[in-house]
Structure 1
Amino acid sequence: MEPLCIIPCGKKKIWDKQADVGPVAAREAYIGTFHRLCETYADHFKLDWVVLSAKHGFLLPKDIVPENYDLTFNQKSDQIVTGDFLANQVKNKRLDIFSRIIVLTGRKYKPFISAAFSSTNPEIAYPLEGCKGIGQMQQRLKTAVANDTPIHPGY
């Protein structure tokens, strides 16, 4: 079985361009450059993927995002999903079937991902860890797709 790829949501969303668009699938909701590069990477290497959102938790590509929001894991807010909420989603969305996880996010997501998968104990890889910033992360993703050379382990 291929690994599950976890990608970040991002601040820029479809409603920033089309305010009256209404609810949309997660695949359409997030339009920021980094998110799109992560999604392109996952699709290119034929990986199942989910978005990790501070507000909604794990979103499958077809899950509906009802409206615009501005919430990040860096904020202090009681609206941010908890580790327990994420762990329940792992079971309910059948993400517990994956024995390997590829995480294409920054450091701030790491404790949430660890908490979410603590009971299933998959192998978790962070191939963008060690990058010196978002620009280097984006370049690594672009190069991997352009050269058809994955950055995730086990390939």
Structure 2
Amino acid sequence: MENLCIVPCGKKKIWDIKPQTGAVYAKDAYQGTLHKKCQSFADKNNYPWVILSAKHGFLLPFDIVPENYDTGFHFPKREVISDSDLHSQWQTKKLNETKSIILLTGQKHEKVMHRIIKNPHHYTWVTPLKGCRGIGDMLHRLNEITTKH
């Protein structure tokens, strides 16, 4: 695969809207504006994408998210997926076969990616949201780059 978008998950999930919902595909679990905008950007550009979750790690669109959770990379390490598990998922899900990593995330996720990728120079890194000062700024930047494509 040529390009791979790394998309943040987000706090708002389907269970916040419909609490009775059971397990769902990752593509349907996350309901936040930033997540949806990032997913839309990837889809409009025909880029494969993967969600980076502090609880579950790398989630492909049809991976199952079993239930609601609230975990972020700023949580204590014991509540967050380990770097070694993330690195293992990077390999087993064949995400390492990409040539270009498009990070549609904030700084925390970027730091995680650089920790778990053992050969960062193997990839071209594209960080269109770098320098944004919050979700509002990120949404604005995504609108700008989406209209250019």
TM-score of the aligned structures, taking structure 1 as reference length = 0.90
CA distance in structure 1 between the aligned counterparts of 2:9 and 2:131, rounded to whole angstroms: 20
Which range moves more in the overlay, 72-81 or 26-35?
72-81
Cα distance in 2 between the residues matched to 1:16 and 1:114: 31
- The answer for the alignment partner of 1:48 in structure 2 is 48
| Matched letter for residue 38 of structure 2 | C
What pairs with 1:82-97 in structure 2 (closer than 5 Å)?
A: 82-97=82-97
Structure that is richer in helix per residue: 2
For 1:110-133, what per-residue CA distance to the aligned partner results, in whole angstroms no more than 9, with x for missing partners?
A: 221112222463222211001222
Q: Trace 1:142-153 onto structure 2 (pairs within 5 A).
A: 142-145=143-146, 147=147, 149-150=148-149
State the 1:82 CA deviation.
1.6
- Give the structure 1 partner of residue 65 of structure 2: 65
Pair 1:81 & 2:81 matched: yes
Structure 2 distance, partners of 1:140, 1:73, is 23
* Separation of aligned partners in 1, 2:49 and 2:131: 22
Moved over 2 A (4+): none
In 2, Cα distance between the equivalents of 1:85 and 1:119?
16
Deviations 1:77-117 (A, max 9, x none): 41201211111001110001001100011101122111222
Aligned-residue sequence identity (percent) comes to 45
How far has the Cα of 1:76 moved from its partner?
A: 1.2
What TM-score comes out, normalization by structure 2 length? 0.94
Structure 1 vs Structure 2 CA RMSD: 1.3
Further displaced range: 123-132 or 91-100 = 123-132
The corresponding residue for 2:124 is 123
Partner of 1:34: 34
Which letter maps to 1:92?
T
